[in-house]
Amino acid sequence: MVIIYHSNTGFTRQYAEMLAKAEKLKAYSADEAPAGLEEPVFFMGPLMAGHITGLDKTVKKYKVKGVCGVGMSPASQQVMDLLAKSNCKPLINEVSSFLMLAVYRMFRLVYSANPRNQNALFTIPDTVSQQYADAAMQIHCANALSISKGDPAVDMEKIKDLEPLMVTTEGLSKAYPLFASSLLNLIQNAETRVNYPGQTRK
């Protein structure tokens, strides 16, 4: 199996390359994939308006056996926009890797619910996949935290200008008049799930 991807902003390409590295597969952009490819294809593309960009053309050219739409909720989009404002590539990479691994873990969890699903899709054994992915997530989280606190680990660059990362609820409402509430609701719901003992309700 090989991975073919269509990417507009670069995030789908990054996810495809990370998945290819983790599973020891080849990854090609849709424009660079070899003609006449006979191997089964796992396609990845941006999810826009309920449609995966580039899928129709790829299905006509290759033997597509699996599909992944890369999309974001409105709240996730606000996170990625804030990351972009940091103009710090290591921070963007670490956060993106963390989120990708979270999706990978939940996909494998749900996939494994049906014992008839073949583990041949993966190269990491199911018995250790969650633990290994969790360990990798903790490393990416630690790296991202070190950057955000101004003391980057392993020679990563600092955020050069913190001013664009200034966030207020008023600013969010102006920038995202339709979706700011979804992020605020996400924060409230997430903290309710965490159930921190010292938490107080307003």
At residue 189, does pLDDT exceed 60? yes
Average pLDDT over residues 141-161: 94
Dihedral-angle region of residue 135 (phi above 0 means left; psi in -120 to 50 means alpha; beta otherwise): alpha
Read off the tokens for 101: 């691994």
Token pair listed for 21: 């590295």
The residue whose two tokens read 């921190």 is 196
Please indicate, yes or no, whether the overall pTM of this predicted structure exceeds 0.85: no
Measured in Å, how far apart are the chain's first and last C-alpha atoms? Answer: 53
Domain borders along the chain are: 2-70, 74-166
Question: Higher pLDDT residue, 77 or 184?
Answer: 184
> What distance lies between CA 186 and its chain's CA centroid?
18
Q: Which of 27-36, 51-60, 141-150 has the lowest mean pLDDT?
A: 51-60
